[in-house]
Amino acid sequence: MAEIKAQPFAFPLKRDAVALIVIDMQRDFAEPGGFGASLGNDVSRIAKIVPDVKRLLAGFRDAGLPVIHTMECHKPDLSDLPPAKRDRGNPLLRIGDVGPMGRILIAGEPGTAILPELAPIDGEIIIEKPGKGAFYATDLGNILTSKGIKQLVFAGVTTEVCVQTTMREANDRGYYCLLAEEATESYFPEFKAAAIAMIRAQGAIVGWTARVDDILETINHA
């Protein structure tokens, strides 16, 4: 069996059962005028990982391996947006309000779209999710089961919120989870470092982490 060099120990790759899942690489989190910026965050941190996410995507596509994209977003009528979620953050620009890139985090709005450099191509799965975790209130679990996917390589944002939440959901459902270290980012460097440390602590209690080069080396050459 092929192995990816990873921490805290090598990741046992099952080539016929692995998928890349790119979490929420949306304009709303990465561009000025979006949701992330409205909360006072430095969104340039997110834009900087685009090249690493892009080469990971290219590696999976070249290897003919499945790719899943997620988008955090809500229905235009806000029926899937609990008040407990809406009524926090920036009181001047809530989810659903009109911002410079359209209605904040609403399906179909310009700001909700995946960054053009990382846009899904034909045949890739897109999961619209109202929560932080990609399994909550979506078809993700059924889709993975129907395709025989048992291992997930994670990229995207933010490390300690939607990425970590989805990794924990996947871990509890029995998936082997590997986080690509340079292809994930947080608005808070210390939160990214802490999330990576807690994921792989205690003998990979949530999963593994690995460098993008080491992931690509194994999926493209092993």
Q: How many other CB atoms are there within 10 angstroms of residue 76's CB atom?
A: 12
Give the active site residue among 52, 73, 162, 177.
162
Any catalytic annotation for residue 177? no
Residue 24 annotated as catalytic? yes
Contact 89, 34 (CB under 8 A): no
Radius of gyration of the chain (CA): 17
Strand pairing category for 151-157 and 176-185: parallel
Nearer to ligand C5J, 11 or 154 (CB): 154
Q: Which is nearer to ligand C5J, 10 or 115 (CB)?
A: 115
User: Is position 161 an interface residue for ligand C5J (rule: CB under 6 A)?
Assistant: yes
Catalytic annotation, pick one of 28, 52, 73, 129: 129
Contact with ligand C5J (CB under 6 A) among 38, 158, 209, 218: 158
Active site residue 5: no
Using the contact rule CB under 6 A, the part of the chain among 52-60, 154-162, 188-196, 209-217 near ligand C5J is: 154-162
Euclidean distance between CA atoms 63 and 18, whole angstroms: 11
Paired strand residues for 68 = 21, 125
Tell me which of 31, 52, 72, 128 binds ligand C5J, using CB under 6 A. 72
Residue 162, interface with ligand C5J (CB under 6 A)? yes
Sign, CA dihedral 95-90-50-22, equals negative
Among residues 165, 158, 197, which one has the least CA distance to residue 45?
A: 158
- Residue ranges binding ligand C5J (CB under 6 A): 24, 29, 72, 157-158, 161-162
Active site residues: 24, 129, 162
